[in-house]
Structure 1
């Protein structure tokens, strides 16, 4: 195996081990020794790739949410884009330990230097931009403040996934996400256009398939 390929395999093993450790114990409850044990690597190998636990935690977060970077480049991102993204996140939370670890790190505000606001800011900006474009097409009511709407959706869904985790281990998260949209869409979308959007999602989530519909 080429040196670069070995390094990539080792880095992936470290991220996977870190995800398992962080998902179980959170940032404060996880030591580098825990991560080394989960990953099956030496501390030397870990430090070759990551200088600290903080850097490793940030890498877990960034890896899982880098897909959101592609959303602004989609053709006509809008209301359904946001619906599908949250359903995709719900599916990934159920299927991927790396996503669960990243969400736990974000929700726990897990940083020795204070709260990590970057993922929240990223989500809010992305949703606001999608809604702003949708509003320009008449898909969002003219009297809706898209900044406030984006903040509300991020806050509501964050709480929704936490309560779903506690009550059902997130087994009902897609159902709860659908219910959230059923309640919210009438306040966001003009009545004449409500039928254009599916609160249960279209199955074209950017997080699952790599692309999102309008």
Structure 2
């Protein structure tokens, strides 16, 4: 059991280190010696877990893909097939790109010319947005004359732009910037019956604010 735990910690450290190096240097320039040194393990330990650099990149992308899946699944569970689900998932994804090195490294690999030909995180995100908006259109959630395909193209192009620009300037990934995007776009995409209920800053922001307000009221009532 101790050996298994140690092996799991080593593998985790290598994936974290590799994600950071891939994010900073790209796949071609990243060296296994740099990755192992930053992980605090020997080259032998690295090769015990991963046969080569490509296998390590696959592991980074797989872990990042699982994180993205959890983000989109949680948004869909909370909001169903709706524009709000896409808004919420966008905020969560941009937050993960800003704060989670595995997600950042995975997306850097997704846009790396040396890794073309693979199913990438960008494709995973695009397919989820398309599928969700297709069902939202079927449910009457989109404005008249607006198609799910056009909506998806705009959203995917914008979020990919945030991701790329955020690699050099993290402010592009801020909740404020993403909220401003939705403030501009939602009035064009959403049906009138839904527009007033949509939260451009993400529904979790409203829920957190309501929780803080209830807590403050309770505190005052107890004084």
Q: TM-score range with shorter-chain normalisation? A: 0.7 to 0.9
Deviation (angstroms), 1:202: 1.6
Describe the shift of the 1:5–1:164 C-alpha distance in structure 2 as closer, same or farther (beyond 3 A). closer
Structure 1, 68-77 or 55-64: larger mean CA deviation: 68-77
Q: Please give the secondary structure, in 2, of the residue aligned with 1:196.
A: coil
Corresponding residue number in structure 1 for 2:201: 200
Deviation (angstroms), 1:127: 0.9
Q: Tell me, which stretches of 5 or more residues in structure 2 are unaligned? A: 206-223
Q: Which has the higher helix share?
A: 2
Mapped contact 1:161–1:173 kept (Cα < 8 A) = no
Larger radius of gyration: 2
Q: Distance in 1 between matches of 2:142 and 2:23?
A: 37
Q: Tell me, which stretches of 5 or more residues in structure 1 are unaligned? A: 205-214
Describe the shift of the 1:80–1:110 C-alpha distance in structure 2 as closer, same or farther (beyond 3 A). farther
Deviation (angstroms), 1:110: 4.2
Q: Distance in 1 between matches of 2:177 and 2:187?
A: 17
Give matches, 1:164-175, under 5 Å.
164-166=166-168, 168-170=169-171, 173-175=174-176
Which of 130, 135, 147 matches 1:128?
130
Q: Distance in 2 between matches of 1:156 and 1:172?
A: 11
Deviation (angstroms), 1:163: 2.8
Q: Distance in 1 between matches of 2:141 and 2:148?
A: 12
Describe the shift of the 1:5–1:85 C-alpha distance in structure 2 as closer, same or farther (beyond 3 A). same
**Aligned pairs, number:** 201
Mapped contact 2:143–2:192 kept (Cα < 8 A) = no
Mapped contact 2:67–2:103 kept (Cα < 8 A) = no
Q: Distance in 1 between matches of 2:43 and 2:103?
A: 24
* TM-score relative to the length of structure 1: 0.82
Corresponding residue number in structure 2 for 1:108: 112
| CA RMSD, 1 decimal | 2.3
Structure 1, 142-151 or 189-198: larger mean CA deviation: 142-151
Q: Distance in 2 between matches of 1:120 and 1:103?
A: 7
Deviation (angstroms), 1:164: 4.2
Describe the shift of the 1:150–1:83 C-alpha distance in structure 2 as closer, same or farther (beyond 3 A). same
Corresponding residue number in structure 1 for 2:37: 37
Corresponding residue number in structure 2 for 1:67: 67
Corresponding residue number in structure 1 for 2:88: 84
